[in-house]
Amino acid sequence: MTALARKSDAQLQRDLLHELKWDPRVEEMDVRVDVNDGVVTLTGTVSSWAKRHAAQEAAHRVAGVLDVANDIEVKVPGRLLRTDTDIALAVRETLTWDVFVPDQRIQSTVSDGSVTLEGTVDLPSEREDAERAVRNLAGVRRVINKIVVGIRPTTTSLEVRAAIEAALERRAQREAHRIRVDVQRGWVSLSGRVRSWEEKQAVLGAARYTPGVEGVDDGLLIDPSV
């Protein structure tokens, strides 16, 4: 899609409504969509935190969407209500069973259906996997991820940068030459332009899964014309 073929806000809104209807994880009848110059705002109510996240993912999948503001509220229906104790037990069980999560290093606090995750892990991917593991649990109204990624002192900034750039060449070759990578004490700053949300996720994933990365500052811009 070139700059001349950029979708209008009305077309983006229609496409997103169709995408929400297509995705069976989303209660599209309860989600409202507003578009302003390529920026999407989602409002309304859904029955779970997972469906709220699914609506956000659906918005990002639509070509031409630049940014998404997710203001959807979660209202758990009576049949799905769980006590905080029930949710806490379910969180512990799902963290324990997920092979990608160092469950012994993560603690959770549940208050009125809101789950706060804390602890220290080695990789940003482990931090994200822990949140993903609890996102779909019944009764969860919100997930607050306060897990910290520890720095590996044996890995230098130059080594981390070289590893990320090598990963970009392997996984995202088309846009690798348009991405700037800066590393300071384990924190990675990415800047530049990519063509789509999928390409942006490929670049972010290459950084997050690199050993020695504590966190990633996302400065990437989506520009279908590049």
Q: Please report which residue ranges of 39-172 form alpha helices under DSSP H.
A: 49-61, 84-97, 124-135, 157-171
Distance CA 182, CA 161 (A): 7
C-alpha distance across the termini of the chain, in Å: 9
Instruction: Answer whether residue 70 shows pLDDT above 60.
Output: yes
**Average pLDDT of the segment spanning 181-195:** 85
Which amino acid type is present at position 191? S
**Average pLDDT of the segment spanning 162-187:** 75
Which amino acid type is present at position 133? A
Work out the percent of the chain whose per-residue pLDDT is above 90. 45
Q: Tell me the per-residue pLDDT of 14-53, one tens digit each, with 9 for 90 and over.
A: 999 999 988 888 876 789 999 999 899 999 999 999 999 9
Of 36-40, 135-139, 156-160, 194-198, minimum mean pLDDT range:
156-160
Q: Which domains does the chain have, with CATH numbers?
A: 3-74 (3.30.1340), 79-149 (3.30.1340), 157-222 (3.30.1340.30)
**Average pLDDT of the segment spanning 76-87:** 89
DSSP-assigned letter for residue 62? S
Distance CA 160, CA 184 (A): 10
Overall pTM > 0.85: no
Distance CA 215, CA 124 (A): 6
